[in-house]
Amino acid sequence: MNVLLVYAHPEPTSLNGALKDFSVNRLQRAGHTVRVSDLYAMKWKATLDAFDDTDHVPGTAFHPSLGSKHAFENGTQSEDIAAEQEKLKWADAVILQFPLWWFSMPAILKGWVERIYAYGFAYGVGEHSDQRWGDRYGEGSLAGKRAMLVVTTGGWEPHYGERGINGPIDDILFPINHGVLFYPGFDVLPPFVVYRTSKMDEARFAQTSEALGRRLDELWSTRPIPYRRQNGGDYSIPECTLRDDILPEQTGLSVHVAK
């Protein structure tokens, strides 16, 4: 299988760097082909702007969505964007690995998503009408592929528990798991989270990497998070609201997971 590991940490000797090296080794030893997009090492340009469409005429207005659509349709995207899209098409599974920074991914990784998730590639796919609201949330260009987050946090596990002050980790990662990964079609696996990183030592690193190794060994057999598919009958279209008869008393992010 082909695995793309997208990695966002500025320091190779960091905990994240060690976990990334461990993952690459483990996957290769299991016979997989691994490619790494090491965003800091690549000096990835994080800002989406007019330079992303080589066809853009300086001095004319730049529209982020329509510029992206034009460039994707006409093959005028900047080379770095097209190269990352090719890696996504090549991959059977994609791992996004990053330290949690201000309750989300580091800006460089957000910029990777913003720039390579072009209009026509990751969004704006399929028929949009009163009967159908596009191929998304379970369908789309990346359907059939698996994705998983590997995340490290300074906060303790209970800080991210159901009643923890930071909010439940599944809620914090929902915009990435559901919004960034499930939206264009990935089957999203439960995240691998390493909490309280300041308390890492050699013994804990050995346990942590072994646990990560098991998750990598089970990349193809782990049951994805059962997010509801937009076009699977659970939502009213075109409102895209959960049907009134499903969990009628409940609201919030968890209603989009079929328990």
- Establish if 191 lies at the interface with ligand FAD (CB under 6 A): no
Decide: is 103 part of the binding site for ligand FAD (CB under 6 A): yes
Using CB under 6 A as the binding criterion, the count of chain residues that bind ligand FAD stands at 20
**Per CB under 6 A, 155 contacts ligand FAD:** yes
- Can you give the three-state secondary structure of the chain, one letter per residue? CEEEEEECCCCCCCHHHHHHHHHHHHHHHCCCEEEEEECCCCCCCCCCCHHHECCCCCCCCCCHHHHHHHHHHHCCECHHHHHHHHHHHHCCEEEEEEECECCECCHHHHHHHHHHCCECCCECCCCECCCCECCCCCCCCCCCCEEEEEEECCCCCHHHCCCCCCCCHHHHHHHHHHHHHHCCCCEECCCEEECCHHHCCHHHHHHHHHHHHHHHHCCCCCCCCCECCCCCCCEECCCCEECCCCCCCCCCHHHHECC
Q: Are 27 and 216 in contact, with CB atoms under 8 Å apart?
A: yes
The 59-98 contact track toward ligand FAD, x by CB under 6 A, reads: ----------------------------------------
Name residue 92's amino acid: D
Q: Which region among 150-158, 180-188, 226-234, 250-258 touches ligand FAD (by CB under 6 A)?
A: 150-158
> Which of 6, 7, 8, 16 forms a contact with ligand FAD (CB under 6 A)?
16
Q: Does 152 bind ligand FAD (CB under 6 A)?
A: yes
Closer CB to ligand FAD, 160 or 235, in the complex: 160
**18, 42, 46, 255: residue in contact with ligand FAD (rule CB under 6 A):** 18
Piece of 85-93, 139-147, 151-159, 220-228 that binds ligand FAD (CB under 6 A): 151-159
Binding ligand FAD (rule: CB under 6 A), the pick from 153, 185, 192, 227 is 153
- Would the CA dihedral through 227, 145, 181, 101 be positive or negative? positive
Selected binder of ligand FAD within 2, 38, 76, 101 (CB under 6 A): 101
Choices 7-15, 29-37, 132-140, 231-239 (CB under 6 A): range interacting with ligand FAD: 7-15
Regarding 15 and contact with ligand FAD (CB under 6 A), the answer is yes
179 binds ligand FAD (CB under 6 A): no
Count CB atoms within 10 A of the CB of residue 246. 13
All residues at 6 or more sequence positions from 64 whose CB lies less than 8 Å from its CB, including other chains: 48
CB of 128 to ligand FAD, least distance (A): 35
Rank residues 64 and 155 by Cβ distance to ligand FAD and give the closer one.
155
Give the footprint of ligand FAD on this chain (CB under 6 A): 9, 14-16, 18, 99-103, 152-155, 197-198, 200-202, 205
